Amino acid sequence: MSFTETLLNGEEGLFKPKTLTPMQKLTLRFVVVGLVYYLFVIIEGMIMRLYEISPLPFVSEKQFFAILTAHPLVGIFGSTYSIVCGAFLFLVPFLMKKPLWSFRLANWTFLLIAIGTFVFWSAGFISHYAPLYTLYWPLPADFSQFAPLGGAFFILGIALIMLGTVFFVINVFKTIAYTPEGWEKQPSGALIASALGVSGAENLFRRKKKEHLVSLPVAAIARGTVDMALNSAVILFTGVLILVYMVAALLGHSLKDTAIDALLYKNWFWWGLDLIADGLVLIFVAGTWYLLATMITGRKLFMQNIARAALLLELVVSWTVWSHHLLADQAQPAFLKVISGEFVTAFELITQGLAFFITLATLWAARPLKMTNPLKFLLGGLLGFALAVPAGIMQADVGLNRILHNTQWVVGPHVHVAVLVGLTMTLYAAIYILFPILTNGAKLYSQKLANVHFWCHLIGGIGMGAFMGMAGLQGMLRRTLYLDGEFKTFMILAGLSGALLLIAFLSFFCNIVMSVGIKGVIGIFTRSELDRGTLLPEAKG
C-alpha cells in the first residue's frame, strides 16, 4: 500500500469501523478524546517550560497562571479520566462476561467529561481565572484578581465532569451487581461484597474460605471507583460553595469570605483531592498492572489473595493520608501531621511496593517473555512509580517538608514522574494491549515509531522530573515565576526533556493514525449498526 492509501485506510486496510460494536466505538471515542486532551497538556506544558526559561512575549503572566491552573486539570480529567473511564466501562463487562448496565449512561459520561473539560479550559483561557487546582480559600473567591463570570464557567465545567464521573460510578457498580435480561438471578449483594473486599475480609475469620465472585481487576476497579465517588462528592460540594460566592458577586453582593475557615477548607479539599492522587490512581494502577501481567503471561497472579487484600488496605489508607499536604501549616494539629501525614502515608510505600513486587514476580515466573509494546510500557510504568513513590514519602516528613514543600522537588521527581512515567506509561501499556481487541485486529503501522515513543517518553519523563527536582533542591519554588533567570540551566534541561515527551506523543499519534487511517478515525465517531448489548462482534456480552 502507498503512504497515502495507508494514511486514508490504515495499515493494510485492516481496520474496518463498520465491524465495531457500539461499546468498542464508545471506548475508542473515550481514548481519542483522552489523547487529544493529552496533546493539550503537552502543548501547555511546553509553553510553561519555555516561559520558565524566558518569558514569552505573547503570553502574559496572568495567562501563564491560567495555563498552570488548567494544565493538571486537563491532564487528570480531560485525558486520564477519559481514558480510564473508557477502558473500565469496557473492561468491567468484558471481565464479568456480561453486558454493560447502561450504554446510554456511559455515553453521557463520555460527553460530560469531554464537554466539561472544554468548558473549564476555555473559561480559563478567555477569562484567565487562575486560582490553581489547590483553590486555597479565599483565593477562588478573590474577585479583585479574578472575574466571577469566568470563574463561574470554570467551576461549571468541573461540575459537569464530576456529574460524568458519578454516572461512571453508578454504571460500574450496577454492571457488577445487576442481572441481565433472560439471565439467571445474580447474587447482587454478594457480588458487591466481593468487589469491595467485604467477603475477602470475612474470609480471614472463616475456616471454610468463600470463593471470590469477581476477578481481581474488577475488584481493583470497584475499590478505586469508591474513591472516585467520594472525590466527586467533595469536588461538587466545593464547587457549589465557590459558585455561591460567584453568583453573589455577579448579583452585586459581596459575601464575607471569613465565613469559611481557611484551614478547615484546606483539610476538606485535600482529603477529597487525595482520593485521586493517593487513592484511585494507585488502586487503578495496581489493578491495571495485575491485569496486564496476567494478560501478558497468561498465568495467575503471584500472591493474588494478598494483592486483593492490599487493594483494600490501599483504599482505607487513601482516606487517611491527606495531612501530608499540610505539614507546612503550623496551625494543623501535630498529631495529624505525624499520624496521617507521616506514618499512614508511609503505608503507600508498602501497598505500592507490594503491587510492584507482585507484578514483577508474575512476569518473572513466566520467563522467557517477548519484549512486546505492552510489556515494555508496563515495565516503564513500574519504574515510574518505583522512582516517584519514595520521593513522595521523603517529602511527607515533618523535617524534610520544611525545606521541600512547594519546591520544584514536589512537582518534579514526585508528581511528574508519577504521572508521566508511572501512570501514563501504564495507560499506554493498556492501550497497546487493548488496541487489537478494540479494533478487531487492526495492525500497528510501525514498530520503529513505537520504539521512539517508548524511549523518548521514558527519557523525557524521567529527565524532566530529575531536572525540576535538582532545581527544587536548590530552592526553586513551584507555582511562581523567576524573572531574573535564577534557575535557567535547569529549566533549559527540563524544557529539552519536555521536547522529548512531545516527540514521543507525536510518534504515537502518527503511528495510531497510520494504523487505523483517517477514514478509520472518522468511522469511530459514526453510529454503529450493531447491537448495543454486544461487547465484541464474535460473542454476545
- Alpha carbons within 13 A on the beta-carbon side of 437: 15
User: Which of 18, 207, 208, 370 lies at the binding interface for another protein (CB under 8 A)?
Assistant: 370
Residue of 100, 105, 162, 382 that binds another protein (CB under 8 A): 382
Q: According to CB under 8 A, which one of 244, 247, 263, 522 is a site residue for another protein?
A: 263
Q: Are 45 and 89 in contact (CB under 8 A)?
A: no
Q: Please, which of residues 276-315 interact with another protein by CB under 8 A? A: 302-303, 306
Told to check if 251 binds another protein by CB under 8 A, we report: no
Output the smallest distance, CB 238 to another protein, in A: 15
Closer residue to another protein, CB minimum distance, 386 or 521: 386
Applying CB under 8 A, does 266 fall inside the site for another protein?
yes
Q: In this chain, which of 71, 212, 324, 376 binds another protein, going by CB under 8 A?
A: 376
Cis peptide bond upstream of 180, omega within 30: no
Q: Which is nearer to another protein, 456 or 476 (CB)?
A: 476
Q: How many Cα atoms are found within 13 Å in the side-chain-facing hemisphere of 220?
A: 26
User: If DSSP codes are grouped into helix, strand and coil, which group holds residue 407?
Assistant: strand
Q: Which of 183, 237, 364, 525 binds another protein (CB under 8 A)?
A: 364
- If the CB atoms of residues 479 and 540 are measured against another protein, the closer one turns out to be 479
Q: Is the peptide bond before 22 cis (omega within 30 degrees of 0)?
A: no
> x/- string (CB under 8 A) for another protein, residues 321-360?
-----x-xxxx--x--xx---xx--xx-xx--xx--xx-x
Q: Is 65 in the site for another protein (CB under 8 A)?
A: yes
Q: Cα 480 from chain centroid?
A: 25
Window contacting another protein (CB under 8 A); options: 132-140, 314-322, 511-519, 527-535: 132-140
Measured distance CA(309)–CA(194) in Å, rounded: 11
Q: Which of 332, 336, 308 is nearest to 320 (CA)?
A: 336
Q: Give the rounded distance of the alpha carbon of 412 from its chain centre.
A: 17
Asked if 241 and 332 touch (Cβ cutoff 8 Å), the reply is: no
Per DSSP, the residues of 473-527 read: HTTPBSSS--TT-TTHHHHHHHHHHHHHHHHHHHHHHHHHHHHHHHHHHHHHTSP
- Contact residue for another protein among 1, 366, 518, 522 (CB under 8 A): 366
**Three-state SS letters, 450-470:** HHHHHHHHHHHHHHHHHHHHH
Report the residue from 413, 422, 461, 495 that binds another protein according to the rule CB under 8 A.
413
Query: With CB under 8 A, what is the number of residues at the site for another protein?
Result: 84
User: For residues 182 and 399, which CB has a smaller minimum distance to another protein in the complex?
Assistant: 399
Query: Phi/psi of residue 477, each to 5°?
Result: -85, 160
Instruction: Pick one of 126, 149, 262, 521: the residue that binds another protein (CB under 8 A).
Output: 262
CA distance 148 to 60: 20
Exactly one of 134, 304, 320, 534 binds another protein (CB under 8 A); which one? 134
Q: Cβ 457 to another protein, closest distance in Å? A: 15
50 belongs to the binding site for another protein (CB under 8 A): no
Specify the residue, 98 or 478, whose C-beta has the smaller distance to another protein.
Answer: 478
Given 62, 174, 443, 532, the residue binding another protein (CB under 8 A): 62
Binding mask 174-203 toward another protein (x if CB under 8 A, else -) reads ------------------------------
User: Closest separation between CB of residue 302 and another protein, Å?
Assistant: 6
- Of 181 and 484, CB closest to another protein: 484
Q: Does 393 bind another protein (CB under 8 A)?
A: yes
- CB of 296 vs another protein, minimal distance in Å: 10
- Residue 468 near residue 411 (C-beta atoms within 8 A): yes
CB 157 within 8 A of CB 118: yes
Contact pick of 125, 174, 397, 541 for another protein (by CB under 8 A): 397
| Cα gap 525→505, rounded to integer Å | 22
Taking Cα atoms as reference points, which of 468, 477, 481, 464 lies closest to residue 55?
481
Of all helices (H) and strands (E), which one includes residue 38? helix 22-53
**Min separation Cβ 272 and another protein, Å:** 17
Among 2-10, 248-256, 380-388, 504-512, the segment contacting another protein (CB under 8 A): 380-388
Contacts with another protein in 217-236 (CB under 8 A)?
A: none
Q: Are 103 and 26 in contact (CB under 8 A)?
A: yes
> Cβ neighbours of residue 239 under 8 Å, at least 6 residues apart?
155, 158, 159, 162
Residue among 443, 130, 133, 459 nearest 277 (CA): 133
Letter string b/e over residues 144-158, b meaning 16 or more CB atoms within 10 A of that residue's CB: eebbbebbbbbbbbb
The binder of another protein chosen from 142, 202, 529, 531 (CB under 8 A): 142
Nearest-angstrom CA–CA distance, 434 and 449: 18
- Enumerate residues 456-495 that contact another protein by CB under 8 A: 473-477, 479-481, 483, 486-487
When asked if residue 256 is in the footprint of another protein (CB under 8 A), the reply is: no
Interaction between residue 406 and another protein (CB under 8 A): yes
Identity of the residue, 42 or 389, whose beta carbon is nearer to another protein in the bound complex: 389
